[in-house]
């Protein structure tokens, strides 16, 4: 699945959104927390390490098995369902990266 969310896709997103306010490094101090949403189910997942601790950036390893498509031989998440998108939670609401950029007053760079 070429459209599945993977670490490589997250890295591309971080490059694409550099300076927009839609990266953890740029909006954490404002209260945004990295998260993922399964657009198919509407379920939002906080970004976590594999042991359940909150991660300060987008990390696939803490996502539940029901969204995971592939794992490495050592158990790291390699890709997740196409319907999973990265974004942020702020004041209990999910924001896509574009919405986060708009919310902090910067337009996403496309």
Concatenating the DSSP letter of every residue in 1-62 gives -TTSEEHHHHHHHHHHTTTTT-SHHHHGGGT-EEEEEETTTTEEEE-B-TTSPBPSS--GGG
Query: What are 75-108's pLDDT values in tens digits?
Result: 999 999 999 999 999 999 999 999 999 988 765 5
**109 occurs within a structural domain:** no
99: containing domain = 5-103
Specify if 15 maps to a domain.
Answer: yes
On whether residue 40 sits in a domain, the answer given is yes
pLDDT value of residue 95: 97
- 1-57 pLDDT, tens digit per residue, is 457 899 999 999 999 999 999 999 999 999 999 999 999 999 999 999 999 999 999
In a domain, 108, yes or no: no
Has residue 77 been placed in a domain? yes
Total domains, the chain:
1
């Amino acid at each position: 699945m070429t459209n599945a969310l993977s670490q490589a896709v997250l890295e591309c997103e971080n490059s694409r959104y550099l300076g927009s306010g839609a990266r953890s490094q740029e909006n954490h101090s404002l209260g945004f927390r990295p998260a993922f949403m399964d657009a198919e189910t509407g379920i939002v997942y906080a970004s976590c390490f594999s042991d359940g601790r909150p991660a300060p950036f987008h990390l696939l390893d803490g996502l539940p098995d029901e969204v995971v498509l592939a794992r490495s031989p050592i158990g790291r998440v390699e890709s997740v369902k196409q319907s999973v998108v990265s974004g942020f939670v702020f004041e209990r609401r999910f924001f896509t990266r574009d919405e986060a950029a708009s919310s902090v007053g910067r337009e996403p760079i496309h």
